[in-house]
Each structure stands twice: as structure tokens, then as C-alpha cells.
Chain A
Amino acid sequence: MSALKFVLRHSPPSAVDVSGLRPAMLAGKSRKEIAQLSLTGWNEVHRVGDLFAVRGDDAQRIVIDGADERLVRIGAGLDSGELTVVGAAGDYLGESMRGGSIVVRGDAGALIGAGMRGGRIDVSGNVGAFAGSGRAGTLQGMAGGVIVVRGNAGDRAADRMRRGLLLIEGNAGDYCASRMLAGTTVVLGRVGIDAGYLMRRGTLVLGRSPHELLPTFNHNGWHDLLAIRLLLESLAVYGKRFQSFARSRPSLSRWLGDLGCDGKGEILIAPGRP
């Protein structure tokens, strides 16, 4: 059996919700039946067969080829199986997913892994704002699972994050880990302004010193705690850059805040140039 492959024929006129292209929805269906399924756009409904050429037959391994940013909610609600996206993924990639894995060979839009509870997302390129956060209106962001971004992330990464692991090899934008509730976020590159804004609990690890921290964070000293070492070593499985970061055995500067709310969060900063 070969992976079930959807090759985008042409870019749709406006965003289309392709969350239907996931194993639970496609298992046991013939290619013909799949081509007849409908996908909702803002103001129009598309047939799968009109948008995509469908090949292969293994619904547990799905490939979306030639994707562009108008395909939104790719893998939303995924609970098992593998989904590979070649090209750019739109917003809400892996939204509310509970299991399985999504690999993007390219960039992804805003709100990847929003409200995610389990599973893993790997993006080789950059991602938009609100990675690992929650959809508008929800009180909690990502609550489980792992997101790995090889490139840069936009503003408000890990906003309202509740649990799980968000790993960013490149830079993150402004207000990283804003309103964070719990969980762990690691940014090996730079962060923008006001990291940890209104952070209540949780851990933000920064590979490089930010230019400035919020005045509502208090310095808590330099640490080489066993817990931190175990944390960093556990990251080694997520790629070479995390591996070498862990091996450098950095002594981390620990800041506590945001005292503007609960103030039980921590920002751990590796020594190094800003």
C-alpha cells in the first residue's frame, strides 16, 4: 500500500478548510468516494476531486503535495496516523489535534497546534503568530503534545499555553509565552519584546539573552539545577541544535514573573550575546 496522496491542482480562490483530509475521515473509502467528499470554503463548497488529484490508498499515511497557504486547518482534530505536507500550510495547522504526527516541508501559517492536546507537529520552515496557543475565545492554549519549528515563529508563540512542549530553533516574535499557564517553551534564537508578558506559570528557555526583560520579572540567580539539566538533555532527541545546546551545559540565569499576575512563571536565559 502506498501513502494516500492529494496533489493540489490549483490554488483555491479563498481559504478552504481541509480538516476532512485525515485518517479517521478517509479510512475504508475508495479514491472515488474520497474525490466526492466536500470541503468548505468561506462562501463556497469544493469537491475533493476538483481541488486535488488523489493517488495512493493508505489512509494512515496521508500526503498533501503542492500545498499553499489557502489550505487551512490541515490535520485539525487529527488523532492518529501520519500527515505530511509538502509546500506551505495555511493557518490552524493541527488545531485541536490529539495524536498522530504532522510533518510540514515548508512554512506554516498562524495558530499552528492551537488547542492541541497530543501528538507531534514538525515544521521545517517558519510559522506565523500564535504557535501553540488557543483559538480565539478559548481560555487555554496548547495543552499537550510537541511542536518543533526549525525556522522562526511569529509573535505571541505559546500564548496561554497550558501543557506540552513548544520548541523553536530560530527566533520568536514579540510577547513570546504571553499569558502562559504552564508547559515548556524553548527558543534557541532571539525573542522580540516583552517575553513572558502576563505569564502565570510555566517555563520559557531562551538560548540567547533578550535585549530587555519586563520590569515585572525578578532575577532569581544563576543556576545549574539538576532539573534543568534533565530538561535540556531530554530535548536532545528533537534534533542536533537542541542536542548541542544541551551538551553545552549552560548555567542559566533564572527570572521569575510576571509579577503583574501570579508571577510563578520562569524565564531561563542561557549566557551569550543578545
Chain B
Amino acid sequence: MLTRLSGARIVDPAHGTQQDVRDLYVRDGRMVDRPRDGERIDRTWDAAGTIVMAGAIDLHTHIGGGKVNIARGLLPELGRQHSLAATDVCGACTIGPAPSTLATGYRYAAMGYTACFEPAMLPVNARQAHMEMGDTPIVDKGAYAMLGNDDFLLRLLADGANRAEIRDYVAWTLHATQAIGIKVVNAGGISAFKFNQRSLDVDEAHVHYGITPRTILRELARAVHDLGVPHPLHVHSSNLGVPGNVDSTLATIDAAEGLPIHLTHLQFHSYGTEGDRKFSSAAARIAEKVNASPNVSVDVGQILFGQTVTASGDSMLQCRNSRHGRPPKWVVMDIECDAGCGVVPFRYRDRDFVNALQWAIGLELFLMIRDPWRVFLTTDHPNGGPFTSYPHLIKLLMDRSFRNGVLASINPEAAAMSALGSLEREYSLHEIAIMTRAAPARILGLEDQGHLGPGAAANIVVYEPHPDPEVMFATPRWVFKDGELVAERGEVKTVICGAIHTVKPDFDRGIERKLKGWFEQHHTQSLSSFKIDDEEVCECGRAPRLAVHACRARTA
């Protein structure tokens, strides 16, 4: 079956900066260059006058893995305010800050997203996470396994294990949990919290294991790099949300010692202590460092005003934040001594000094970090705001006068402390396409996503140009996933199941001997039932296929 999409302006940054008007061809769910000689075109979509991009990729969005389920259970009243009845195509679902799995898939697809990555899958929760993601329709999924607060790794590091052993354990975790990357959340801090430490800076020692977050970060970044996993270590730095945490963030970048790392929801880690309220923007210092460190990529975690819920593995900091919860209820818990979990609902208010400044800091980072290949558009859904606000965020980036209008309406003290008003940069369509398509695909190692060249998955989003980018990005005319029309003008047309993306680096399986003893002595389940094999993950994740991406090991 050959389909043609004719007459659209193609914005495809993976293949250069030109935006020419040309026809696209899709054969059996894949992009092809042109029809074979004499091949019949089965269907033509007239896309004259439209702008076409590849399907967007969200590389950091909490869509599974337990936390969101806890948020759903904690805040059912928010879902009830936005419930949608079943249609011929879709099941009944609820949207809002903690949308149901169905709504997550539908809304992402209707907005032109075709792949989403859950950033905080606890290895012990991996089965649940894959099931929850399996229940999220249409989009492709993948997850980063959380390490760095688990007893096994901390013991290895405390005992001075050699790098090969750590590397094997990291690789074993990727295999066992069917993950595409490794994330570290408040390195060592979640564990330290359980030993009664209430903060842990980059060079502070864990009272029990005696190691510092710096060691954990360096060794994990090295292991991920040596294994050749495409996505660098995904780092949620220490001291999230604490005024003055800019120093920890800069120390975290240094801890990587030049190895690739990805700093996530950087906005929450870019705070200074200047001014009367001892809370200020340190975006300029962070941006300067990121601009000068080509090994660093970031996503912003922009906050947007309104009700949302924060869900994080960082129980140390969520415990600290729990007093700010609105409505006043929260959950902070340990999960099988593997890591933690904290869910605190938040209502970000534009008249509030701190919230208004957080909003400005996020935008400062977007505008001050120069290379769109290294900064990604996220709200850390749902922590900074629900993903449904992405079109609004794109408008803030693309339209300076709109941005300054909002700036004039927020808490004036915060507005006065921010450099945002003086930043003239406006993102171009090309740059938006980089940060939402081409760059996330590249940094995750997804060879066939995020571009429209021959061989790519036929994930195509057809936008109608509109002077208001929010309107344009909120409701694309057509969204194709693997060549199939899944959404039209914001309405879901077909519900399909997306693939699961993983990596499977080579490693020495001898590590299982050591792991087996540890599981028997300390764990609540056996090693064999802990591991999820390919068949099981596809079944419980309802995935038609497992997309395993190549790793190029960097050591002998």
C-alpha cells in the first residue's frame, strides 16, 4: 500500500534546514523516497498549504510506573472535573493533571506526539510500569530504569567494586526491566533519607554507605557511556527545588567529568539565593555552563500556572515540599527499599512570587541555552504542568510580545527580578521541530523516529499554519502513526498500540551469580521472577513489536 501526502512544506531538521514543498510517500508504515517505477499510488492526501513535521517525541513524561497511579488515586476529584464519555473509537477517560492512561494516549496523539518516555521506572516496579504504558494507546513508549539509590549498587560502590562489575549490573538492569536508559534521581539521597539524612549535597557522604553523590554520578555516567547506550545518564540532580541549588547543579555537571549526561527538569535546579526573599534565578549561570559543556543536554521542566500534581521518586525532597501541597494531601513512601516515591499536588499561581519566578526561570533557560539540539521541551508532566499545555509553552517560546504580556501580568516582584523581559530570542518553527522531534530521537538513539527520511517510521503530523502557534500546535489537521491516520483536528480516529523501545547492551552474565545471592538474602522476590523477558513485556505492554536500539560499546 502506497500513500502520498502532497504539497506540504516539510520541516525536517534531521535532514537540513531547507523547508521545501514536496510530496511524501509512505509504503506499509514506512517513509520511502519515491514510488517504484509504475507503482500505483493507493491514496493521496492533499496537504497543500500545510506544514509537516515528524511525530513529536516527549523524552521525559511521567505516564507510568506507580507514581501516576498514586496521583490518580490521591486526586480523583481532579479527574472527575474533566471526564470524557466513551465514543465509537475511544473509551471513557479522565483528563486533568493526572490523566487516565487512555486519555494520556489520546491527547498525546491528538497533539501530534507519537512517542513518550517514562523517566522514572523503578526496577522493582518495571512490570507495573510496562502494563500501565501498555494501557496507554497509540504512542510508542519506553522507560528509563532508576538506579543510584538501590542497595546493590551502593554496596558495589562502597566496596570499591571495579568498573566492569558496575557496568554489568547497569546492563543487567536494562535487560531485566526492558528499559531504554538509566536515570538517577537525587543520587544517594533517596536512600540517605531513610537513614535520617534530610539533605545530601553532591560532596556529602551517605551516612551508611560512606559514598558521595559525586561518585554515584560519575560511575553511572561512565557505565552508561562505556556500554554504548545511546541515551546519556538521565540525571535528576540533588536538592530539587531548594533555593541556592545552582551550586549542586554545577557540581553535578562537573561530576560527569566530561562524559555525556542529560540533566532533567533543569528549571527546578536553577535557583539562587539573592534578593530580599532569598530566592532568585540562576538560569544565566546554568545556561553559561551548559553552553560551554557540549557533553550536557537538558530538558527544562517548565512550570505553567494552574492546578497540577508533582510525582517524583525523590522522597527526600517531596517530604520537604509536602507542606506546600494544594489541596493539602500528599503521599511519600518507600518502595521495596529500592528507591522512593512522593506525590504532592501543587497549584502554581501567577501572583505568587516563587511560582512566578519559577515560570520565568524555565523560560530563561529555554532562551539562554543556545543549541536547540541540547534543550528539550518538557513540563516534566505532570510536575510543572500537564502535557496538554505544550502548545501554550510553544507560543511562549515563539512569540516574544505574547511572552512579555504574560510577564507583565505575573507577580511584579518576580517579574522585576527576572531577565526574561530583555531576552529577545524567538524560537523558529525549525528550532521547535529540532527540540521536539529531531533532537530527542537523536539523543535516545531512535534511528527511525523524529525525521521523515526514507526508512523512518511514517509518523507524520500535518499542521495548518496559523498566526497563533498555540492554535496551530494544539490541533494538527492530521496525525499519522506508522502510516495510519490516528487523529484529525484534535479528534482521535483510530486507536492502535505503540511499540516499546529498549536497548540491550552486551554484558557479562556472570554478574547474576552475585545478584542471585543478594536477591535471596534481601529481596522480596526471586531473581528469575524479577526479570521481564521480551515475550512478557510485549504481552503486558500490549506492544506489537519491541524496538531494540543499537548500542556501540566503547570498551573492549
- A contacts, CB < 8 Å to B: 40, 42-45, 135-139
Roughly how many angstroms separate A138 CA and B328 CA in the complex, as a whole number? 11
B455 to chain A, nearest CB (A): 40
Roughly how many angstroms separate A44 CA and B92 CA in the complex, as a whole number? 9
B466 to chain A, nearest CB (A): 32
B7 to chain A, nearest CB (A): 39
Say whether B80 faces chain A, with CB atoms less than 8 Å apart: yes
Asked if A139 contacts B327 (CB within 8 A), the reply is: yes
Q: Which of B71-79, B137-145, B169-177 sits within the interface?
A: B71-79
Asked if B91 contacts A43 (CB within 8 A), the reply is: yes
Asked if A42 contacts B76 (CB within 8 A), the reply is: no
Asked if A135 contacts B328 (CB within 8 A), the reply is: no
- B contacts, CB < 8 Å to A: 74-78, 80, 85-86, 91-92, 327-329
B506 to chain A, nearest CB (A): 47
- For B76, the closest partner residue in chain A by CB is A137
Roughly how many angstroms separate A44 CA and B88 CA in the complex, as a whole number? 9
Asked if A138 contacts B77 (CB within 8 A), the reply is: yes
Roughly how many angstroms separate A231 CA and B85 CA in the complex, as a whole number? 45
Question: A40-B85, A43-B86, A45-B85 are known contacts. Are A137 and B77 too (CB-CB below 8 A)?
Answer: yes
Main secondary structure of the interface of B (DSSP, over half): loop
Roughly how many angstroms separate A224 CA and B77 CA in the complex, as a whole number? 42
24 A/B residue pairs, CB under 8 Å, sorted by A: A40-B85, A42-B86, A42-B92, A43-B86, A43-B91, A43-B92, A44-B86, A45-B85, A45-B86, A135-B76, A135-B77, A135-B80, A136-B76, A136-B77, A137-B74, A137-B75, A137-B76, A137-B77, A137-B78, A137-B80, A138-B77, A139-B327, A139-B328, A139-B329
Known A43-B92, A135-B80, A139-B328; further 18 A-B contacts with Cβ < 8 A: A40-B85, A42-B86, A42-B92, A43-B86, A43-B91, A44-B86, A45-B85, A45-B86, A135-B76, A135-B77, A136-B77, A137-B74, A137-B75, A137-B78, A137-B80, A138-B77, A139-B327, A139-B329
B343 to chain A, nearest CB (A): 13
B308 to chain A, nearest CB (A): 15
- For B329, the closest partner residue in chain A by CB is A139
A contact residues around B86 at 8 Å (CB):
42-45
Roughly how many angstroms separate A216 CA and B78 CA in the complex, as a whole number? 34
B81 to chain A, nearest CB (A): 11
- For A134, the closest partner residue in chain B by CB is B77
- For B84, the closest partner residue in chain A by CB is A40
A contact residues around B328 at 8 Å (CB):
139
Roughly how many angstroms separate A139 CA and B76 CA in the complex, as a whole number? 11
B contact residues around A138 at 8 Å (CB):
77
A260 to chain B, nearest CB (A): 18
Roughly how many angstroms separate A138 CA and B81 CA in the complex, as a whole number? 12
A contact residues around B329 at 8 Å (CB):
139
Roughly how many angstroms separate A42 CA and B85 CA in the complex, as a whole number? 8
Roughly how many angstroms separate A40 CA and B84 CA in the complex, as a whole number? 10
A50 to chain B, nearest CB (A): 16
Roughly how many angstroms separate A42 CA and B93 CA in the complex, as a whole number? 10
Roughly how many angstroms separate A40 CA and B80 CA in the complex, as a whole number? 14
Roughly how many angstroms separate A139 CA and B328 CA in the complex, as a whole number? 9
A246 to chain B, nearest CB (A): 38
Roughly how many angstroms separate A136 CA and B92 CA in the complex, as a whole number? 19
- For B79, the closest partner residue in chain A by CB is A137
- For A45, the closest partner residue in chain B by CB is B85
- For A136, the closest partner residue in chain B by CB is B76
Roughly how many angstroms separate A34 CA and B350 CA in the complex, as a whole number? 44
- For B72, the closest partner residue in chain A by CB is A137
B42 to chain A, nearest CB (A): 34
Roughly how many angstroms separate A138 CA and B79 CA in the complex, as a whole number? 12
B298 to chain A, nearest CB (A): 35
Roughly how many angstroms separate A139 CA and B80 CA in the complex, as a whole number? 15
Interface centre among B78, B92, B328 (most CB of A within 10 A): B92
A contact residues around B327 at 8 Å (CB):
139
- For A135, the closest partner residue in chain B by CB is B77
Roughly how many angstroms separate A135 CA and B74 CA in the complex, as a whole number? 12
10 closest cross-chain pairs (CB), A and B: A137-B77, A137-B76, A43-B86, A136-B76, A40-B85, A138-B77, A137-B75, A43-B92, A139-B327, A45-B85
Roughly how many angstroms separate A44 CA and B91 CA in the complex, as a whole number? 9
Roughly how many angstroms separate A44 CA and B77 CA in the complex, as a whole number? 22
Roughly how many angstroms separate A40 CA and B85 CA in the complex, as a whole number? 7
Roughly how many angstroms separate A138 CA and B77 CA in the complex, as a whole number? 6
B contact residues around A136 at 8 Å (CB):
76-77
A contact residues around B80 at 8 Å (CB):
135, 137
Roughly how many angstroms separate A135 CA and B83 CA in the complex, as a whole number? 15
A68 to chain B, nearest CB (A): 22
Interface centre among A42, A135, A137 (most CB of B within 10 A): A137
B76 to chain A, nearest CB (A): 4
B137 to chain A, nearest CB (A): 15
- For A139, the closest partner residue in chain B by CB is B327
- For B328, the closest partner residue in chain A by CB is A139
Roughly how many angstroms separate A136 CA and B74 CA in the complex, as a whole number? 9
A221 to chain B, nearest CB (A): 35
Roughly how many angstroms separate A137 CA and B71 CA in the complex, as a whole number? 11
Roughly how many angstroms separate A44 CA and B327 CA in the complex, as a whole number? 33
- For B327, the closest partner residue in chain A by CB is A139
A contact residues around B78 at 8 Å (CB):
137
Roughly how many angstroms separate A45 CA and B90 CA in the complex, as a whole number? 13
B contact residues around A137 at 8 Å (CB):
74-78, 80
B contact residues around A43 at 8 Å (CB):
86, 91-92
Roughly how many angstroms separate A138 CA and B329 CA in the complex, as a whole number? 10
A81 to chain B, nearest CB (A): 24
A contact residues around B76 at 8 Å (CB):
135-137
Roughly how many angstroms separate A43 CA and B85 CA in the complex, as a whole number? 7
B331 to chain A, nearest CB (A): 13
A46 to chain B, nearest CB (A): 11
Roughly how many angstroms separate A152 CA and B77 CA in the complex, as a whole number? 28
B384 to chain A, nearest CB (A): 22
A contact residues around B77 at 8 Å (CB):
135-138
A163 to chain B, nearest CB (A): 19
- For B78, the closest partner residue in chain A by CB is A137
- For A40, the closest partner residue in chain B by CB is B85
Roughly how many angstroms separate A139 CA and B75 CA in the complex, as a whole number? 10
Roughly how many angstroms separate A204 CA and B214 CA in the complex, as a whole number? 58
- For B85, the closest partner residue in chain A by CB is A40
A contact residues around B75 at 8 Å (CB):
137
Roughly how many angstroms separate A45 CA and B74 CA in the complex, as a whole number? 28
Roughly how many angstroms separate A139 CA and B74 CA in the complex, as a whole number? 11
- For A17, the closest partner residue in chain B by CB is B85
A153 to chain B, nearest CB (A): 23
A143 to chain B, nearest CB (A): 14
B contact residues around A40 at 8 Å (CB):
85
A137 to chain B, nearest CB (A): 4
Roughly how many angstroms separate A138 CA and B80 CA in the complex, as a whole number? 11
Roughly how many angstroms separate A54 CA and B68 CA in the complex, as a whole number? 44
Roughly how many angstroms separate A147 CA and B328 CA in the complex, as a whole number? 28
A93 to chain B, nearest CB (A): 17
B contact residues around A44 at 8 Å (CB):
86
Roughly how many angstroms separate A44 CA and B86 CA in the complex, as a whole number? 7
B425 to chain A, nearest CB (A): 42
Roughly how many angstroms separate A43 CA and B327 CA in the complex, as a whole number? 30
B93 to chain A, nearest CB (A): 11
B contact residues around A45 at 8 Å (CB):
85-86
- For A44, the closest partner residue in chain B by CB is B86
Interface centre among B76, B85, B329 (most CB of A within 10 A): B85
B contact residues around A139 at 8 Å (CB):
327-329
- For A138, the closest partner residue in chain B by CB is B77
